[in-house]
Amino acid sequence: MSAQIRRVLQRIGASALETQFKLATDAWIFRAPTPWLFGCRQHYLVSEAQKADIEMRVGAGCLVALALMIGSILLLTRTFVIPCLLLIGILRYLYDCVALRSLLSDAPQTTERITFADRLRAKGAMFSLVGLTAVLLGCFFWLYSLLYLAFTDGEFWKAPAGVILLASLPCALFVFFGAILWAKLSAPPSNNA
């Protein structure tokens, strides 16, 4: 495999795994995927070379999944697109579990964990404070306009399930970006100032 393809796959994998790595004193802590929906994830100490290999394998899986998703959107009817996209997402996640198992077999496990707050802080580093505030305000006004239209019409409880699900989307986005904003504001000040 050429060095350029390896770099591209590694970049794709790095963006997919940005919240799953944390720098320790002499290695990286990696939060490994697990095939189980609930439960604790194993954390491993990996070297810089192992980190690059993990990112490359996950990047390859992301690239194949993206090609399959685009193909399913273009080739399938509307009825089958959403189940097919869900299946592709599940299969990609299971691929990550299997593909990384051999890489992590020699890596030592660690008791140090990557917490939910650590992952939120990593996401918060991607956004500016103004950008997060703008997204939160946008979600709030989106939800407000949906609820205003539903209640002024007087038919909110007779609305189809799609409208109610549509109203839950800005709520979920508001909670997600609100948690990122909370983690960003509660993070200790950086030493780079």
Closest CA to 109 of 13, 31, 22: 31
Q: Sorting pLDDT into bands at 50, 70 and 90, what band is 126?
A: confident
Q: Sorting pLDDT into bands at 50, 70 and 90, what band is 165?
A: low
Weakest-pLDDT range from 51-55, 60-64, 185-189: 185-189
Q: Are residues 80 and 146 in the same domain?
A: no
pLDDT digits (tens, 9 = 90+) for 76-124: 776 777 788 888 888 888 888 888 888 898 889 988 888 888 888 888 8
Comparing 5 with 134, the larger pLDDT belongs to 134
Q: What is the pTM of this model?
A: 0.70
Q: Are residues 146 and 82 in the same domain?
A: no
- The amino acid present at 177, given as its one-letter code, is F
Q: How far apart are CA 128 and CA 146, in angstroms?
A: 27
Residues of the chain with pLDDT > 90, as a percent, come to 3
Q: Are residues 59 and 92 in the same domain?
A: yes
Q: Are residues 134 and 98 in the same domain?
A: no
Range of the domain at 13: 3-114
Contacts of 114 (CB under 8 A, 6+ apart): 19, 20, 21, 22, 29, 31, 43
State yes or no: pLDDT of 62 exceeds 60.
Answer: yes
∠ CA 160-164-166, rounded to 5°: 110
Q: Are residues 23 and 80 in the same domain?
A: yes
Q: What is the DSSP letter of 20?
A: T
Q: Are residues 72 and 128 in the same domain?
A: no
Read off the tokens for 114: 């990557």
Read off the tokens for 111: 């008791």
In the listed set 114, 136, 167, which residue is the last one of a domain according to the structure? 114
Query: 191 lies in a domain?
Result: no
Number of domains comprising the chain:
2
Q: Sorting pLDDT into bands at 50, 70 and 90, what band is 155?
A: low
Q: What's the confidence (pLDDT) of residue 193?
A: 39
Q: Are residues 20 and 90 in the same domain?
A: yes
Distances (CA, A) of 74 to 61, 68, 78: 20, 10, 10
Q: Sorting pLDDT into bands at 50, 70 and 90, what band is 142?
A: confident
State yes or no: pLDDT of 192 exceeds 50.
Answer: no
Query: 33 lies in a domain?
Result: yes
Q: What's the confidence (pLDDT) of residue 164?
A: 65
Cα dihedral 15→16→21→22 (10° resolution): 50
Query: 68 lies in a domain?
Result: yes
Q: Are residues 12 and 97 in the same domain?
A: yes
